[in-house]
Amino acid sequence: MWRYLPVLLLLCLWQVLCFLGTVPNYVLPSPVEIVEGLWTLLVTGMPPGHLLHNHILYSLYRVAWGFSIACGLGIPLGLLMGWFPSFHRVLSPIVELIRPIPPLAWLPIAIVWLGIGMRSAAFIIFLGAFFPVLLNTASGVLSVSPTLIDAAKTLNATQKDIFFKVLLPGSLPSIFVGMRVGMGVAWMTLVAAEFSGVKDGYGLGFMIMTARDIQKPDQILAGMLVIGIIGFIIDWLFRAWESKIRPCV
C-alpha cells in the first residue's frame, strides 16, 4: 500500500491549494469538485439526459469494431511478413510509408469517404491499432530461434506443423504486446476522433467536448478520469488473458 502514498499526498496537496485559492477552480478544479462532476455525469448526463454509462458503451462499441478489424488483418499479415521474406520485402515499404502518418491526419478524408459517425470513427481506430499489431506480430515471428525450427524439421515436422506449433506459440508474447499497445493507441484515437462529432450524440470524446463548450472543467476532468480508468482496466484484462493463454500453448 505504500506505493499509493505519493498519489494520496499529491491529491491532498491539490485539494489544499484549491481550497486556499492558490489554484483557481476555473483553471484546475479540486479533487472534490471532480468527484462531484463525475456524479453529475452519472445522474444528469452531459448533455443533460445523455448519461455517462451510455457514453462509455458507445465508445467501447466503436473501439471494439476498429480494434477487431485491426487484429483480424494485422495478426495474419504480421505472421506472413515474419514467415515469408519475400512477402516482408514487398509489404514493408508500403507499411513504412503509411505508418508515420498520424491516425488523426486521416480524419478529414475519413469523413469525406465515410461521413460522420460509426464508420469513420472505426476507420480511425483501425489505423491507430493496426500498425502496432502488425509490426509486433512480425517481430515475434522473426524472434523465434532458428534452432527450434531446425529441431522441428529433424523430427519430420511439416511446414504447417512448424507454423502452428513453433512459430505461432513462440510469437505470442510479441503478439500480445502489439495488441496491448494497439488497444492503447486505439483508445486514445477514439476520443480524439469523437471530437469531430458523432451522429448519435454519445461517446466519451463527444461528452468532453460538450462540457468544454459550456465551460464545465470539473466534468472535463471527470471524463478524462473515466477514460484513464477504463484504459487501465482494459490493459489489466489483456494481461490477465495473456497469463491464461500462454501456459496453454
Q: Cell numbers 495473456 correspond to what residue?
A: 242
Going by the DSSP 8-state scheme, the letter that residue 100 receives in this structure is: T
pLDDT of residue 108: 82
Domains, the chain, with CATH or none? 52-248 (1.10.3720.10)
Residue 199: pLDDT over 80: no
Pure H helices in 99-213: 107-114, 118-142, 146-154, 159-162, 168-194, 204-213
Mean pLDDT of the chain: 85
Q: What is the pLDDT of residues 58-97, one digit of tens each?
A: 989 989 999 999 999 999 999 888 888 888 888 888 888 8
CA dihedral sign, ordered 230, 235, 239, 244: positive
Residue 196: pLDDT over 80: no
Higher pLDDT, 36 or 4: 36
pLDDT of residue 27: 78
- Are the CB atoms for 238 and 179 separated by under 8 Å? yes
Confidence bin at 161 (pLDDT 50/70/90)? confident
Q: What is the pLDDT of residues 96-109, one digit of tens each?
A: 888 888 888 888 88
DSSP string of 147-165?
A: HHHHHHHHTT--HHHHIII
Over range 103-119, report the average pLDDT. 82
Residue 26: pLDDT over 80: no
The CA distance from 181 to 92, in Å, is: 20
Joined grid coordinates for residue 34: 471532480
Over range 188-205, report the average pLDDT. 76
